[in-house]
């Protein structure tokens, strides 16, 4: 019989295969994860809600029933801005303390339909925004795990769950993944249905995944989209890689710069065509443009909360709402036109490259829990609606994880996963630092 440690360290796809073959039970796997939660949660504080009996009841039901789908019996954690009918959805805000939705978010319902055990809700920054919760980085409790999918990144990195749902408006999936040393995947905008998600900025909010194994991203994508599961595989020809430091390069710390150079050198040595690439000059407006989207659309999404519970909204989020309310609609519409023009121009970039390679974040996780990190290295790509992925790529000066970010054209999500698979298996870029 596999030990609890061996069970909790399984990737989601590997665990699903073992359950389907009858080699392990869902109950044993969920029990192993719950034992890890019991041991580590007092320090990590990744969960806003977890009921061991509810999780085990789902697991036992899976073990007693025929295989229901691709995710049969495997536990998934859910960021607490996504609705769950049998658990509170509090969104990191006292306004929603104890709130119980009647329905699951679409991604949660589809995961359940495919057989997943919904293990619990993970801590989010307030309304997936700026004010962090109490979650700590599993590698160093004095440092942030990143945000706003703080609990999702920490739970996966600490072996409490093999995979977690996150959401990204700026960098809220990739940054926690980079800071915690796991894999973060933000698909093409709209890939995963967003019904049942509390919007932050509706025109860019994207549901994403955090896991320790790349294959898990493909399996959950298949379950959520109704497509056939195809594991990541080697591309048919050598990759054409654009080494893209971006206009944000001056903000990159030595650890991020070194990780990017190591990954580029490894890809080149393994046979990729790696060339320097500079974004068009006008793209330097993207960070400011995303802030306009973020402020205006947050103000509109939080109209009820602002009108009726303003005193319960944090100062940081209040500033964002105030900025959004003060932004002229003409400025917002100009930002929308500019973003769409850049998306079209970004499509053309990939005529010459299969993927771009840039920093996942500006460095290691910052010390302190009051600040979840700079979203700019991820946010520009979120605004462009392209699929992105953060891979662990070693450690920095403080022995904390650092990552590299892969970017592919819109709707080329399978090619992105294949490129990441090539970087892991052929170029030797680290698959996980958990």
Average pLDDT over residues 226-230: 97
pLDDT: which is higher, 254 or 430: 254
pLDDT for residue 42:
98
How do residues 192-205 score in pLDDT, each as one tens digit?
A: 999 999 999 999 99
- Kindly state the average pLDDT of the residues 237-244: 97
Structural domain spans, the chain: 4-225
The catalytic residue among 48, 93, 148, 314 is 148
Dihedral angle at the C-alpha atoms of 53, 57, 59, 65, nearest 10 degrees? Answer: 170
Q: Is 148 considered catalytic here?
A: yes
Strands (E), 187-277: 206-211, 240-243, 273-276
- Nearest alpha carbon to residue 433 among 402, 406, 411: 402
pLDDT tens digit sequence for 396-417: 999 999 999 999 999 999 999 9
Conformational region of residue 154, where left means phi above 0, alpha means psi within -120 to 50, and beta covers everything else: alpha
Q: What angle do CA 261, 265, 270 make, to 5 degrees?
A: 150
Counting residues of the chain whose pLDDT is more than 70, the rounded percentage is 99
Distance CA 143, CA 135 (A): 9
pLDDT at 2: 79
CATH class of 4-225: alpha beta
State the pLDDT at residue 3.
85
Summarize pLDDT for 84-110 with one digit per residue, the tens: 999 999 999 999 999 999 999 999 999
* pLDDT attached to residue 140: 98
Nearest Cα to 193, choosing from 89, 115, 113? 113
Q: Is residue 39's pLDDT more than 50? A: yes
- CB neighbourhood size of 150 (10 A): 33
- pLDDT on residue 434: 45
pLDDT band for 1, please (50, 70, 90 cuts): low
3 state DSSP class of 80: coil
- The catalytically annotated residue of 79, 186, 198, 395 is 79
Tens digit of pLDDT for each residue in 277-309?
999 999 999 999 999 999 999 999 999 999 999
Q: For residue 419, give Cα distances in angstroms to 249, 273, 279, 355, 363.
A: 23, 13, 21, 8, 23
CB 131 within 8 A of CB 314: yes
pLDDT interval class at 430 (50, 70, 90) = confident
- pLDDT bin (cut points 50, 70, 90) of residue 432 is low
433 has pLDDT over 80: no
In this prediction, residue 156 carries a pLDDT of: 98
Say which of 26, 172, 320, 360 is annotated catalytic. 172
* Annotation says 65 is catalytic: no
pLDDT at 299: 98
| pLDDT, average across residues 267-278 | 98
79 labelled catalytic? yes
Looking at every residue in the chain, the average pLDDT score rounds to 97
For residue 399, count CB atoms less than 10 angstroms from its CB and return exposed for 0-12, middle for 13-18, buried for 19 or more.
exposed
Cα(382)–Cα(378) distance, integer angstroms: 6
Angstrom distance (rounded) from CA 195 to CA 381: 23
The 355-359 sheet, strands edge to edge: 47-49, 117-122, 75-79, 163-168, 206-211, 183-186, 388-395, 401-407, 355-359, 240-243, 273-276
């Amino acid at each position: 019989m596999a030990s609890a440690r061996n069970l909790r360290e399984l990737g989601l796809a590997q665990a699903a295969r073992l359950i389907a073959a009858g080699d392990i039970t869902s109950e044993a796997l969920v029990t192993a994860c719950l034992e890890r939660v019991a041991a580590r949660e007092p320090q990590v504080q990744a969960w806003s809600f977890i009921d061991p009996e509810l999780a085990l009841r789902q697991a036992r039901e899976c073990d007693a029933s025929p295989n229901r789908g691709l995710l049969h019996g495997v536990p998934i954690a859910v960021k607490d801005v996504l609705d769950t009918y049998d658990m509170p959805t509090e969104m990191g805000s006292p306004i929603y303390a104890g709130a119980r939705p009647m329905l699951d978010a679409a991604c949660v319902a589809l995961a359940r339909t495919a057989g997943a055990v919904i293990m619990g809700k993970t801590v989010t920054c307030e309304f997936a925004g700026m004010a962090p919760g109490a979650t700590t980085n599993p590698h160093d409790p004095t440092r942030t795990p990143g945000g706003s999918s703080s609990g999702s990144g920490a739970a996966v990195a600490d072996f409490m769950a093999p995979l977690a749902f996150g959401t990204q408006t700026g960098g809220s999936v990739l940054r926690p993944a980079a800071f915690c040393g796991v894999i973060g995947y933000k698909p093409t905008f709209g890939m995963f249905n967003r019904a049942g998600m509390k919007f932050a900025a509706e025109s860019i909010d994207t549901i994403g995944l955090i896991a320790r194994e790349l294959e898990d991203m493909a399996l959950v994508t298949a379950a959520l989209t109704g497509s056939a599961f195809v594991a990541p595989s080697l591309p048919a020809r050598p990759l054409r890689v654009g080494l893209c430091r971006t206009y944000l390069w001056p903000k990159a710390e030595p650890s991020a710069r070194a990780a990017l150079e190591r990954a580029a050198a490894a890809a080149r040595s393994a046979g990729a065509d790696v060339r320097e690439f500079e974004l068009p000059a006008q793209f330097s407006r993207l960070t400011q443009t995303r802030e306009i989207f973020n402020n205006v659309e947050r103000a509109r999404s939080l109209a009820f909360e602002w009108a009726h519970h303003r005193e319960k909204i944090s100062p940081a989020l209040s500033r964002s709402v105030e900025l959004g309310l003060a932004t002229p609609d003409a400025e917002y519409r100009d930002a929308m036109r500019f973003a769409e023009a850049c998306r079209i121009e970004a499509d053309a970039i990939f005529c010459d490259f299969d993927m771009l390679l840039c920093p996942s974040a500006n460095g290691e996780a910052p010390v302190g829990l009051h600040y979840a990190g700079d979203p700019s290295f991820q946010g520009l790509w979120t605004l462009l609606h392209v699929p992105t992925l953060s891979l662990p790529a070693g450690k920095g000066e403080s022995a904390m994880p650092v990552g590299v970010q892969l970017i592919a054209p819109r709707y080329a999500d399978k090619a992105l996963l294949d490129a990441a698979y090539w970087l892991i298996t052929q170029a030797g870029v680290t698959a996980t630092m958990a």
